[in-house]
Amino acid sequence: MTVVRTERVGSALLITIDRPEARNAVDAATAAELSAALDELEATPELWAGVLTGAGGTFSAGMDLKAALKGESPEIPGRGFGGLTEAELTKPLIAAVEGFAMGGGFELALGCDLIVAAENAKFGLPEVKRGLIAAGGGVVRLPERIPHHLAMEILLTGEPINGIRAGSLGLANRVVPAGETAAVALQLAEQIALNAPLALAAVKNVVRASDRWAAQRTEIAKLMTSADVREGMTAFAERRAPQWTGR
């Protein structure tokens, strides 16, 4: 039984966690299929961005505790929770968050490059209420995204915030009415896809590098020898849309 669906929409891959009966909680099978979907995104030249969402009006309730009690792991070695939170993807990934994004679900969203949130979405890291910490990237990424004391409040209380609050904190790029997140995220993906794929990958490489200045020098040197840079300059001079090749 497939628990992660993929659909190509233009130049974007819509990835849907499809376990609504479990509020899209991540078990071993879900992690494996999500990892495979991300591989599809990475390996397909016609796809320039991905959108991650959940079926049934819920993004993800995080780790499937019932499966975990049976000994299942929701992590993929080297790629983290759900095969995403530690993965080094070259293509932009957008989270379209409806309903609950709790625990690992929130961490999946934090593992994406952009977040589109429904107004009534719920983001939370309640691990401390269970004697744990948000070890799928929550305690690492959240303090990097929002002011320290606000991140600590979310991490230490375990209490959720809604989509509107997430937008006001800068966690969400767009806050939209419930039911519209996937459509808006796909629009963002198409906007991103107007740009050069090598440049998009270079941005991601620099942002996640430990020495960003060194990484920036390396990436710009590579880009300056690419056919896409020449095409971008030529298209600008000729006042036309560039035709990117990814070379």
8 A C-beta contact, residue 52 and residue 112: yes
Q: Which residues contact 245 (CB under 8 A, 6 or more apart)?
A: 227, 228, 231
Q: Is the pLDDT of residue 1 over 90?
A: no
Task: Say which of 107, 153, 231, 238 is annotated catalytic.
Answer: 107
Q: How many CA atoms lie within 13 A of 244 on its CB side?
A: 17
User: What is the share, in percent, of the chain residues with pLDDT greater than 90?
Assistant: 98
pLDDT digits (tens, 9 = 90+) for 182-236: 999 999 999 999 999 999 999 999 999 999 999 999 999 999 999 999 999 999 9
Catalytic annotation present for 72: no
Catalytic annotation present for 144: no
User: What is the share, in percent, of the chain residues with pLDDT greater than 70?
Assistant: 100
Report the predicted TM-score, pTM, of the whole model to 2 decimal places. 0.95
Q: Is the pLDDT of residue 80 over 90?
A: yes
Task: Say which of 33, 75, 98, 127 is annotated catalytic.
Answer: 127
Q: Is the pLDDT of residue 38 over 90?
A: yes
Q: What is the pLDDT of residue 20?
A: 96
Q: Is the pLDDT of residue 107 over 90?
A: yes
